[in-house]
Structure 1
Amino acid sequence: MDSPASLWSAFSAAFTQTNVPTVTWVEMLLSLAAAVALSIPRRSWRYFGLLATATHELGHAFAAVTSGQRLAGIRLRLDHSGTTTTYSRSRLAAAWSCFWGYPVPAMVGAAFVWCGLNGWGPAAMATSALVLAASLLFLRNVAGFAITAAAIAGTASLAFLAPGSVVGHVSVVLGLALLVAGVRDLLKLTNVHLRRRDRLGSSDAYLLYRATSVPSGIWIALFTLIVTGAWIVAWQPISMILLKGA
Structure 2
Amino acid sequence: MNHSLDQLWQQAVGTQPDPPHWLVLACGGAALLAVLPHPVWRLSRNVVTLAHEGGHALAALVTGRRLAGVRLHSDTSGLTVSAGRPTGPGMILTAAAGYTAPPLLGLGGAALLAAGRITALLWIAVLLLAGMLVMIRNAFGVLSVVVTGAAFFTVSWFGDPQLQAGFAFLGVWFLLLAGVRPVLELQRKRRRGGARDSDADQLARLTGAPALVWVALFTVVALVCLGVGGGWLLTG
Unaligned runs of 5+ in 1: 242-246
Residue 148 of structure 1 is matched in structure 2 by 145
Supply the distance in 2 between the matched residues of 1:91 and 1:223 (Cα, whole angstroms): 20
1:128, 1:155 within 8 Å by CA — same for their partners in 2? yes
Supply the distance in 1 between the matched residues of 2:57 and 2:208 (Cα, whole angstroms): 23
How is 1:1-246 mapped onto 2 (pairs within 5 angstroms)? 6=3, 8-9=5-6, 11-24=8-21, 26-89=22-85, 91-92=87-88, 93-195=90-192, 197-201=193-197, 203-240=198-235
1:37-68 CA-to-partner distances (Å, cap 9, x unmatched) read 11222332232211110000000011110001
Cα displacement (A) at 1:88: 1.2
Instruction: Quickly say closer, same or farther: Cα 1:101–1:9, change in 2 above 3 A.
Output: same
- Percent identical pairs in the alignment equals 27
Cα displacement (A) at 1:11: 4.3
Cα displacement (A) at 1:215: 0.7
Supply the distance in 2 between the matched residues of 1:83 and 1:219 (Cα, whole angstroms): 19
TM-score by length of 2: 0.91
TM-score by length of 1: 0.87
Tell me the secondary structure at the aligned position of residue 120 of structure 2.
helix
Q: Which amino acid aligns with 1:57?
A: E
Supply the distance in 2 between the matched residues of 1:97 and 1:117 (Cα, whole angstroms): 29
1:5-39 CA-to-partner distances (Å, cap 9, x unmatched) read x4644643442223222322x33332221011112
Q: Which amino acid aligns with 2:106?
A: G
RMSD over aligned Cα atoms: 2.0
Q: Which amino acid aligns with 2:200?
A: A
1:115, 1:171 within 8 Å by CA — same for their partners in 2? no
Tell me the secondary structure at the aligned position of residue 102 of structure 1.
helix
Q: Which amino acid aligns with 2:120?
A: A
Unaligned runs of 5+ in 2: none
- Equivalent pairs counted in the alignment come to 235
